[in-house]
Amino acid sequence: MTSELFQIVKEYADFEAEVRPWIAKLCGPHCSVCETVCCRPEYCRESIDSPFLALLRETYPPQTKYTAERGWLTPSGCALACGRPPVCYQFSCRKIAAALPDDSHRHLMNVLSNLVSHAGKRALAGRHIVEIMDAAGLAQVKITRFHKRLDEARKAFEVIQAFKMNGRLPASARTVLSKIAPVPTFPTPQNRKVISRRIS
């Protein structure tokens, strides 16, 4: 592993470790009582097949072994502290979204669930870093390109953290958040009437 690639692995893992507890706090209360397990062994398989995720797993090894039947799923949740397939963060069910108080909170959750994936976007020739399937390709990933995406993800995460503390989104937040997920147009009291008339 080159020194640049080692640095990318470390910084990706550090950021994933920061974001993961926030997603767990939002989803955990729902997932812990859900009778339908969304995790599937076929999703876990990407952590084996992707050389980048394999590097993460080797650098930060889990305490539990992978099995074909259950993947990384244990009775207490995923055994991977880092190196989870991005889809594991990106998926959230309708029940979780419906439990949030409003559209703004739902958008922030959408951003939060895409932060880890965003850090690896367009790492090499338009490919996500987890989609680079050979060591030679990984060695070509430039840390400056990786840092561009990671910095965008970090700034959006800072907006979410600030919102959690003070309940406000500054004017600049829209631009920062839109780098991760498009900001939806929320109905205002005025255009709700227009939408209602169109529907009726």
The answer to whether position 89 is within a domain reads yes
Please, which residues bridge with residue 136 across strands? none
Q: Tell me how crowded residue 117 is: count the other CB atoms within 10 A of its CB.
A: 20
pTM: 0.87
Q: In this predicted structure, what is the pLDDT of residue 142?
A: 94
Token pair in block for residue 26: 């939002």
Is 200 part of any domain?
Answer: no
Specify the DSSP element, H or E, that contains 175: helix 173-178
- Domain extent, residue 49, equals 3-186
- Domain-located, residue 196: no
Q: One-letter amino acid identity for 59?
A: T
What integer pLDDT is reported at residue 200 of this predicted model? 29
Least confident of 87-96, 110-119, 160-169: 87-96
Look at residue 32 and tell me if it is in a domain: yes
Give me the number of domains the chain comprises: 1
For residue 60, the SS3 value is coil
159-178, pLDDT tens digit by residue?
A: 999 999 998 888 889 999 99
Measured distance CA(144)–CA(80) in Å, rounded: 27
Greater pLDDT, 167 or 12:
12
Q: Distance between CA atoms of 76 and 62, rounded to whole angstroms?
A: 14
**How far is the C-alpha of 135 from the C-alpha of 139, rounded, in Å?**
6
> pLDDT at position 36, please?
82
Answer yes or no: is 191 within a domain. Answer: no
Confidence at residue 186, expressed as pLDDT on a 0 to 100 scale: 54
Q: What's CA 37's distance to the chain center, in Å?
A: 19
Which pLDDT band holds residue 193 (cuts at 50, 70, 90)?
A: very low
- 196 or 76, greater pLDDT: 76
192 pLDDT higher than 50? no
Kindly state whether residue 198 falls inside one of the protein's structural domains.
Answer: no
Q: Comparing 7-11, 88-92, 130-134, which segment has the lowest mean pLDDT?
A: 88-92
Flag the least confident range among 39-43, 113-117, 134-138, 153-157: 39-43
28 located within any domain:
yes
Domain-embedded: residue 194? no
Residue in this structure with the two tokens 């989803």, named with its chain if needed: 27
Say whether pLDDT at 197 is over 50. Answer: no
C-alpha span between 59 and 13 (Å, rounded): 9
DSSP 67: B
